[in-house]
Chain A
Amino acid sequence: MATSVEKAGSVPEHCPGTESANAGKASACAGCPNQQICASGPKGPDPGIQLVKERLEQVRNKILILSGKGGVGKSTVTALLGRSLAAADKERNVAVLDIDICGPSQPRVLGALNEQVHQSGSGWSPVYVDDNLSVMSIGFLLSSPDDAVIWRGPKKNGMIRQFLSEVDWGTLDYLLMDTPPGTSDEHLSASTYLSQAGLTGAVIVTTPQEVALLDVRKEIDFCRKVNIRILGVVENMSIFVCPCCKRLSEIFPAATGGAKKMCEDLKVPFLGSLPLDPTIARYCDEGRDFVGDLPNSPAVDALNGIVTRLVEMCDSKEE
């Protein structure tokens, strides 16, 4: 599968692939601007893939949270899913890994700002926000909230490899990986490194309006190109209930039928909709436990439905 990732872009027709023993030497390589790099580079699959596989052997379900579009609530949905999975069953071990290197949000959303990561003989210890919910993010490694991580792809790649191969998660039932928007380095790196470790699949988050769906369709195309199973789509910020008059408003109008229609068109499972609830935004800003504090709100209701379907989807593969 790793080669299919490397070949996902528009490579010349007879390119042997960068990992092939023939890289840079095949007849098709003559005249290719990358010939020298390919010929002199290390051969064979990245050793990181094996390290990641060994490290994540005790992790039952590995789920990527993706969205082509930014700001649709990937981090919020990841945190809510994590909290909900952890709260539903105290025996279940859940972890959140934030691979958004340039804009990490998990420390804030999960209320772990200013926490530190400790290094031990068995690797980095993640930060525990609950007995059975741990989190790892580059946010814990920065000295100030103003610190910008101005990195090009290869450095981000190295960081993701470290996160995947050097964090001591222990035994986990669910590892949720929160990603940055787009279909680029972070996504390719994560899917390459996880190729041997058995990635369960991806949850795709979107909002209802066309400008978001446009990018999300690209993300679904990406998943298909690199062979990631789509566990389902979550529609976030779907309906807003005015707290004063209870009138429903579509803030991000689903002019083209919203996520449900897109799922039907593209034949991917639809997991459910989450309403636009200002309390969620506030709870996220303050890092409080929305699921535990407001168990009767319509959003938590909807969330529980989504989690149930997600668990079913994950288990259905294992049969």
Chain B
Amino acid sequence: MLEGVKHVILVLSGKGGVGKSTVSTQLALTLKEKGFKVGLLDIDLCGPSVPYLLQLEGKDVHQTDGGWVPVYADNDQKLAVMSIGFLLNSRDSAVVWRGPKKTAMVKQFLTDVCWGDLDYLLIDTPPGTSDEHISVMEALKAVKCDGAIIVTTPQQVSIEDVRKEITFCKKTEIPVLGIIENMSGFVCPSCTECTNIFSKGGGEALAQLAQVPFLGVLPIDPRVGALLGKACVTELPDSPSAKTFNTIVQKIT
């Protein structure tokens, strides 16, 4: 399983909608821009977002003797992507599965996809601490997993769920590579006044409390959400988000 993969990194968050998928895709694109071969596996079975965020909707996964061939986001085949979104007939159809079926699917994603040689495999997860997470942790026991990046937004209600996720990592002995605080402040485009819509500093405070590294702050920037498959570091090189992505990648490589 995952023989040719050098590093495996999980992207986790107890809370939903904090930007796990956006962070995962942008980290994958940033790593690719740095010249690495990257894989991105989306194990959010009930709400896969990666195909849309990389503009790969409607692409098909092919089956070969070696297993499922992932979808490549670029012509050089440096960014391989796998998601349940590629296996669904319609983008509107729901995957109404209970745990055991999700577990089987996650295992299949980890064992049956022929990723080839990869420098980094990023795994984007659904919110929570349940079936998908337990399955992926169990499956990864056999492989060397570098650790988990935890994404949060600054407000208390999100931090509270993320504390549970850190406990989960500790219980399952997955090292926490660090915390990213997303959606931290919005700069009004007309008056440049910064409003902390979801307050500020919660991620950093949490990192201190839990004694895990703090990786950086990403502001609310609607331009990043609209990038859809393009790397923030090349399209918006001067934006604060691009700087943060660069530092994060430096810290984890």
B18, B166, B191: the one within 8 Å of A244 (CB) = B191
Q: B220 and A153: CB pair below 8 A?
A: no
Decide: A109 near B127, CB < 8 A? Known: A215-B49, A225-B94, A242-B195: no
| Interface: B128 (CB within 8 A) | yes
Compute how far the CA of A214 lies from the CA of B17 in the bound complex, rounded to whole angstroms. Answer: 13
Among residues of A, the one whose C-beta sits closest to the C-beta of B191 is A245
| Interface: A181 (CB within 8 A) | yes
| Interface: A278 (CB within 8 A) | yes
Q: Which of B33-41, B150-158, B230-238 contacts A (4 or more CB under 8 A)?
A: B150-158
Q: Report the count of interface residues on B (CB-CB < 8 A).
A: 63
| Interface: A42 (CB within 8 A) | no
Query: Which residues from B are CB-within-8-Å of A62?
Result: none
B16, B158, B165, B188: the one within 8 Å of A69 (CB) = B16
Query: Which residues from A are CB-within-8-Å of B134?
Result: 150, 152
Interface centre among B157, B189, B220 (most CB of A within 10 A): B157
Query: Which residues from B are CB-within-8-Å of A105?
Result: 157, 160-161
| Interface: A166 (CB within 8 A) | no
B18, B52, B102, B129: the one within 8 Å of A148 (CB) = B129
Query: Which residues from A are CB-within-8-Å of B14?
Result: 102-103, 148
B46, B153, B157, B225: the one within 8 Å of A209 (CB) = B225
Q: Which of B60-68, B196-204, B239-247 contacts A (4 or more CB under 8 A)?
A: B196-204
Q: B167 and A247: CB pair below 8 A?
A: no
Query: Which residues from A are CB-within-8-Å of B161?
Result: 102-103, 105
Compute how far the CA of A226 lies from the CA of B100 in the bound complex, rounded to whole angstroms. Answer: 20
Decide: A70 near B17, CB < 8 A? Known: A148-B165, A153-B98, A182-B46: yes
Task: With both chains docked as a complex, state the minimum distance between the C-beta of A222 and any C-beta of chain B, in angstroms.
Answer: 4
| Interface: B126 (CB within 8 A) | yes
State which residues 240-276 of A face B: CB under 8 Å. Answer: 240, 242-245, 247, 249-253, 255, 276
Decide: A281 near B198, CB < 8 A? Known: A103-B161, A153-B100, A211-B53: yes
Compute how far the CA of A207 lies from the CA of B197 in the bound complex, rounded to whole angstroms. Answer: 15
State which residues 1-50 of B face A: CB under 8 Å. Answer: 14-18, 21-22, 45-47, 49
Query: Which residues from A are CB-within-8-Å of B129?
Result: 102, 148-151
Interface centre among A9, A148, A243, A255 (most CB of B within 10 A): A148
- Dominant secondary structure of chain A at its interface with chain B: loop
Q: B127 and A70: CB pair below 8 A?
A: yes
Compute how far the CA of A153 lies from the CA of B16 in the bound complex, rounded to whole angstroms. Answer: 18
Decide: A245 near B126, CB < 8 A? Known: A71-B18, A276-B197: no
Q: A152 and B93: CB pair below 8 A?
A: no
**What are some 14 contacts across the A-B interface (CB < 8 A)?**
A102-B14, A146-B164, A147-B164, A148-B14, A153-B100, A184-B131, A207-B17, A210-B52, A211-B225, A215-B49, A240-B197, A243-B195, A244-B193, A278-B196
Question: 4 tightest A-B contacts by CB?
Answer: A70-B16, A71-B17, A153-B99, A182-B46
